[in-house]
Amino acid sequence: MTSPTTPAAGTDGIQTDFSGRMSYGDYLQLDRLLAAQKPLSGQHDEMLFIIIHQVQELWMRLLNNELDGAMAFIRADDLPPAFKCLARLSRIQAQMIQAWDVLATMTPADYLSFRPVLGSSSGFQSWQYRQIEFKLGAKNALMLKPHAHRPDILAPLQAAFEAPSLYDEALRLLARRGLAVPADILGRDLTRPHAADPRIEALWETIYRESGTHFDLYELAEELVDVEDSFQQWRFRHMKTVERIIGMRQGTGGSAGVSYLRQALERSFFPELWSVRTKL
């Protein structure tokens, strides 16, 4: 006999009775997850469009979690686990980059067959993406406005907008390590993006030239470069996929489409970590 608390096992030892027990589907809440795909058009390719974007949002949730972890560890001067979080960010981005290859199998005709049902919805409205950008330092108050009608969403966005970015935390760490980070940089308005500064570039140049002395800060710099490199690759693949499917037409929800995505490629989160390479 089997006890009420012990699932029955088949002849191969695999448990088969999960009445009253948590199963794989229960743990992952698969009933809710798999019920969240609700195509509106009846067109075959709409399911692909929905799933790709839902998967990207799940990855972005993890990106936000890892960013929070990395910043907390940097604030605590505990760099090894921060490096693990930053490395994971880059690996997550690799998965997100590959997702565009799947979406790119959709032709313009495929997309146009269901585009009308999207209404005013647009990836431009992704609040998780904006939260990631804020945490990476791309501060823009305009990006709060699409979420003003949702206080539950606006609150975490506003918090990220007003808080130090990942790069701010890195520069504060440099100051705690005795490097001469200017006071005006440390005390700057956190709701504005960091602007490239030759004084910060000079600090990173010291770290790179004296990497044996500042090895963990040197490693931090390279982890940050990896994060931005991966993020820019994701942006590029996003832009090229959109261009492949809709060309230069306006995006849904009134967004500028490809032209806006191209502009984003010109903006850097950690500008001195790129410019310093010319000095070395």
Tens digit of each residue's pLDDT (9 = 90 or more) over 110-127:
999 999 999 988 888 999
> What pLDDT was estimated at residue 7?
52
> What pLDDT was estimated at residue 247?
81
Residue ranges per domain, the chain? 46-114+126-278
Candidate CATH numbers 1.10.8.50, 3.40.50.720, 1.20.58.480, 3.65.10.10; the one for domain 46-114+126-278: 1.20.58.480
The 3-class SS string of the chain reads CCCCCCCCECCCCCECCCCCCCCHHHHHCHHHHHCCCCCCCCCCCHHHHHHHHHHHHHHHHHHHHHHHHHHHHHHCCCHHHHHHHHHHHHHHHHHHHHHHHHHCCCCHHHHHCCHHHHCCCCHHHCHHHHHHHHHHCCCCHHHHHHHCCCHHHHHHHHHHHHCCCHHHHHHHHHHHCCCCCCHHHHCCCCCCCCCCCHHHHHHHHHHHHCCCCCHHHHHHHHHHHHHHHHHHHHHHHHHHHHHHHHCCCCCHHHCCCHHHHHHHHCCCCCHHHHHHHHCC
Residue 194 has pLDDT above 50, yes or no: yes
> What pLDDT was estimated at residue 9?
56
pLDDT band (50, 70, 90) for residue 2:
very low
